Chain A
Amino acid sequence: MAYSKKVVDHYENPRNVGSFGSSTEVGERSDIGVGIVGAPECGDVMQLQIKVGDDGVIEDAKFKCFGCGSAIASSSLATEWIKGRTVDDALNVKNTEIVEELSLPPVKIHCSVLAEDSIRSAIADYKKKNGVETETKAHSH
Chain B
Amino acid sequence: MSIDRPIYMDNASTTRTDPRVVEAMLPYFTEIYGNSASRNHSFGWDAEEAVTIARGQAAALIGAGPKEIIWTSGATESNNLAIKGAARMHAKAPAGSTGRGHIITATHEHKAVLDPCKRLEREGFDVTYLEPPSDGIITRKMVEGAMREDTILVTVMWANNEIGTINEVPEIGALCHERGALMHTDATQWVGKMPTNVESDNIDLMSFSSHKLYGPNGVGALYVRRRRPRVRIEAMLDGGGHERGMRSGTLNVSGIVGFGKACELCSEEMAEDAERLFKLRTRMENELSAALDVVAVNGHPDRRLPHLTNISFGFVEGESLMMGIGNIACSSGSACTSASLEPSYVLKALGVGDELAHSSLRLSLGRWTTEEEVDTATRGIIKAVKHLRSMSPLYDLHNEGIDISTINWQSH
Instruction: Tell me the A residues contacting B by CB distance below 8 Å.
Output: 3, 8, 11, 14, 17, 19, 22-24, 36-47, 63-69, 71-72, 110, 114, 138, 141
Contact = CB atoms under 8 A, between A and B. Distances in A.
A65 B391 contact: yes
Given A11-B320, A23-B400, A38 B412 contact: yes
Nearest to B390: A17
A110 B320 CA distance: 15
Contacts of A40: 354-355, 358, 394, 404, 409
B396 interface: yes
5 contacts: A19-B393, A38-B410, A63-B391, A110-B412, A138-B410
B126 interface: no
A77 to B, nearest CB: 14
* Count class of interface residues, chain B: 20 to 34
A43 B356 CA distance: 9
A66 B313 CA distance: 12
Contacts of A67: 317, 320
Given A40-B404, A66-B317, A68-B336, A3 B323 contact: yes
B343 interface: yes
B343 A43 contact: yes
Contact of A45 (B334, B335, B341, B409): B409
Contacts of A69: 319-320, 323
Nearest to A40: B355
A36 B409 CA distance: 9
Contacts of A22: 396, 400
A103 to B, nearest CB: 15
Interface of B: 315-320, 323-324, 334-336, 341, 343, 353-355, 358, 390-397, 400, 402, 404, 409-412
Contacts of A65: 391-393
Given A23-B400, A40-B358, A114-B412, A66 B319 contact: no
Nearest to A64: B393
A32 B162 CA distance: 44
Contact of B391 (A8, A36, A39, A72): A72
A11 to B, nearest CB: 6
Q: Which of B336, B343, B390, B396 has the most CB of A within 10 A?
A: B336
B402 A23 contact: yes
A68 B317 CA distance: 6
A64 B335 contact: no
Given A43-B334, A66-B392, A68-B317, A141 B412 contact: yes
A99 B202 CA distance: 56
